[in-house]
Structure 1
């Protein structure tokens, strides 16, 4: 199995209005470090998992709607909490759309919320 990881970060604002989340119930900002890992069992005809530039561009496009956004007002989070896990799923889904023509590429998104906590989401149905 081969993998390629590209990274970026995104600054968001949101609230998690449920007592389960303690002080994070109120509006607050977060800077999330984002890693997108693409994997495949065999390299493509160019001997790569994906072109690094293309992978970086895909991640940038996936993050673009989130940059400096208040996720409480973001249409894709309407009716659901914008937890780090839900945000990772959102990014993974956008990357899956970008790679619709390459179903043999696995996608895992890892968000680092702080130095002691990371969340990962692996897009189901891909290798």
Structure 2
């Protein structure tokens, strides 16, 4: 299996609902390093998995929708705890759509699986890994 990873970062604000979250129920900030790993069993005729420039541009485009935002005010996230795990799955879904639609280059249509990893700190991170489907 071949893989190619691109990365970027975002800064967000959000709060969580539920007593188990303690002080995180108050609005707080988070900075995430976002890694998107694309995987496929074969390369294209140019020996590429995806167009790395297109993958970086598309990841940035997707992240721009939530970067420097209070996620509590984003209508799409209404009623959700925007945990690190939740955000991984959200970004994963957007990247899958980009791959299927050819926004990662034509070879991106052959991506079989994507893993999205968000690093909250050097000591804590979460990921979502699934087939493009």
Do the aligned partners of 1:40 and 1:105 also contact (CA within 8 Å) in 2?
A: yes
Match of 1:93 in 2: 93
Gap regions ≥5 residues in structure 1: none
Match of 2:61 in 1: 61
Match of 2:114 in 1: 107
Structure 1 runs of 4+ with >2 Å offset: 123-126
Match of 1:20 in 2: 20
Do the aligned partners of 1:96 and 1:123 also contact (CA within 8 Å) in 2?
A: no
Q: How many residues are matched?
A: 126
C-alpha distance in structure 1 between counterparts of 2:64 and 2:11, whole Å: 11
C-alpha distance in structure 2 between counterparts of 1:50 and 1:30, whole Å: 30
Do the aligned partners of 1:110 and 1:121 also contact (CA within 8 Å) in 2?
A: yes
Q: How does the TM-score come out when normalised to structure 1?
A: 0.93
Please state whether the residue corresponding to 1:109 is helix, strand or coil.
strand
Do the aligned partners of 2:38 and 2:111 also contact (CA within 8 Å) in 1?
A: no
Q: CA RMSD in A?
A: 1.3
C-alpha distance in structure 2 between counterparts of 1:104 and 1:78, whole Å: 31
Please state whether the residue corresponding to 1:99 is helix, strand or coil.
helix
Do the aligned partners of 2:99 and 2:111 also contact (CA within 8 Å) in 1?
A: no
Please state whether the residue corresponding to 1:24 is helix, strand or coil.
helix
Match of 1:42 in 2: 42
Gap regions ≥5 residues in structure 2: 102-108
